[in-house]
Amino acid sequence: MANYYSTELGGSANQTAIPTGRKPNGTVYNARLKRLRGTFTFNTQTTSDTLQVGTIPSGATFAFGAITTDTSTSTATLAVGTSASTAKYKAAGAVTTTDVPQLFGKQAVVGAADPGLSADETVIVTIGTASLPASGTMTVDLYYSIAN
């Protein structure tokens, strides 16, 4: 039975031996996880509004995110990304389950071969379909790692 190493350890997919001298990328292997938190009060924000969570620094690797609300967004959808790619981290979708963190992260970003950002990246939440509720609170947590 073969023993397969992760891409991070072996350097590429389906490795059965770690190449001599191979060191995993420090942004994804034994890296420290950091968090950006953005807390927003619902105030009937419209589809022309965006919510700025924060900036992930250059060289960092996005790990995952979580959205928690105390009020359903009903038909209003939320996407998480950047101004250039509004759904880079989370596709648009309503958040209808309250008081339970809803994890997100797209495989294309999380599992990228060279996941480190080449420049600082401001992360926003884009509102779609309908306005947000008139009251309530939402917290968006973004988790990322960066070389120690």
pLDDT in tens, 82-99: 999 999 999 999 999 999
Instruction: Find the distance separating the first CA and the last CA of the chain, reported in whole Å.
Output: 35
Note the maximum CA span of the chain.
59
Q: State the residue for tokens 């023993």.
A: 3
Local structure of 50: helix, strand or coil: strand
Q: Given CA atoms 106, 38, 83, 128 in this order, what sign does their dihedral have?
A: positive
Q: Tell me, what's the pLDDT at 110? A: 83
Using CA atoms, how far apart are residues 103 and 112, in angstroms rounded to an integer?
Answer: 18
Using CA atoms, how far apart are residues 43 and 133, in angstroms rounded to an integer?
Answer: 6
Q: Tell me, what's the pLDDT at 102? A: 97
Beta partners for residue 61, in sequence order: 145
Span of 32-36, 138-142, 143-147 with lowest mean pLDDT = 143-147
pTM of the model: 0.88
Q: What is the pLDDT of residues 107-124, one digit of tens each?
A: 988 877 667 899 999 999
Contact at 8 Å (CB) between 115 and 27? yes
Rounded mean pLDDT of the chain? Answer: 92
Hey, which bits of the chain come out as E strands? 32-41, 50-56, 61-69, 77-81, 90-93, 102-104, 121-128, 137-146
Q: What angle do CA 6, 58, 147 make, to 5 degrees?
A: 45
